[in-house]
């Protein structure tokens, strides 16, 4: 049984309770378009299980961060941006995380400036 937080927006998307434009589904992950895109391609990759942030996912040692990163690469290929994409994890409210379910932003389709904002 998957770990789920009944108050989590992303858990509700995984369960099909909240609509999202799904672009890929894997055994451990799901990818969908961001509702407020910051680039021509802006897809979120999340685990099906509820994990609050990337640090917690990494410490769990179950290969979840690897699964998210691998799915991000598949999304980039499917979206036609190949190996020219940015993958971002915001961890904590001070870093801009607004949904506390780990998610990678896959951004591409335009030049990415450095340093980011």
Active site residues: 103
CA nearest neighbour of 104 among 59, 28, 53, 41: 53
Peptide bond into 115 cis (omega under 30): yes
d(CA 112, CA 98): 22
Give how far the C-alpha of residue 14 lies from the chain's centroid of Cα atoms, to the nearest Å.
12
């Amino acid at each position: 049984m998957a770990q789920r937080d009944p108050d989590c927006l992303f858990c509700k998307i995984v369960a099909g309770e909240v609509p999202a434009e799904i672009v890929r589904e894997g055994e451990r992950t799901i990818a969908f378009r961001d509702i407020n895109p910051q680039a021509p391609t802006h897809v979120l990759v999340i685990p099906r299980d509820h994990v609050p942030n990337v640090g917690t996912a990494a410490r769990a040692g179950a290969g979840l961060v690897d699964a998210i990163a691998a799915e991000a690469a598949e999304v980039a290929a499917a979206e036609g941006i190949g190996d020219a994409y940015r993958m971002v994890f915001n961890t904590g409210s001070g870093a801009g995380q607004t949904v506390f379910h780990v998610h990678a932003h896959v951004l591409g389709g335009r030049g990415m400036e450095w340093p980011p904002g």
